[in-house]
Structure 1
Amino acid sequence: MTAHDIDLVLAPVDGSEASHEAVEYAIAIAGEYDARVHALYVLDEDVVRSLESGELDEADVADDTQSFTDSVARRAEAAGVAHSNSIAYGFSTKVKTVHPGSVVLDTAEEIAADFIVVPREPITGEPGAVLEKAAEYVLLYASQPVLSV
């Protein structure tokens, strides 16, 4: 790859330690290629169900994810890398084909990401570890180069 091949690096995150590490790699790659980095915060199934039932308010969820996205912003700015972020539902109670892996790939296509850095988390079953099963799916089906860390 040349520096012109990578303009945008996507880093799907869920607030876990593994996603912090993935962000570090994404920022390093973006810095190397003079690219931008986009952190996609993927919400877990329990949060999505609570949002859809009205038990949780979207503003509260945005506040909860803000500290992580602020951390990404600080690290990207310190490295001189342009950054952006978004939040996505990692599950749907209405569409069975929506899962964290598909959400990552759909977002990569929507934002025209050239490279994906996905955390490869151990299967813990812990609440909030949304991306632990998504890495394999992303590795198998992404049309972009993928680094799994």
Structure 2
Amino acid sequence: MAVGASSLLNILGLVFLGHAVYSAYEHSLLPAASQPALPSRFLPSSLDPKVNLPLDITLETLFSVLLLCVGVVMSSQELKPIQWNVWAGRLEKSKDARVITEVGAGGGNPYAMLEERPGFLDIRGQRKEFANWMKEGSKP
């Protein structure tokens, strides 16, 4: 879906959530709301709320959280493959395997810096150079 729709859902979710929080705060300041609620039969006393919120505030909170969840999921990037062979196949098909085009975009090899090991000596290469030097130097 479009980025605009996800941004709109996120903004609406934040507005509704802010209004629900403000309404819950205002409701907690009312004199009738300051009376403790009846203890619940299902919740332990440590989790029992001290203020009974009206149903509309509770529903508005749940609706805003649902809007935010949908908006965040819609605005997220495409999921990367979980299977190693799919990832390796995409890596092989990419034009330049050593260039990462964008962080998290899946272009190139993200482990190229670890495979190159910059700053370390190439012992095998130096051994080959030494062997070639010895062969060339020992010939008259």
- TM interval, shorter chain, is under 0.3
* Structure possessing the higher radius of gyration over alpha carbons: 2
Question: Counting helix residues as a fraction of each chain, which structure ranks higher?
Answer: 2
Q: TM-score, normalised by structure 2?
A: 0.24
Q: Which has the higher contact order (CA 8 A, sep 6+)?
A: 1
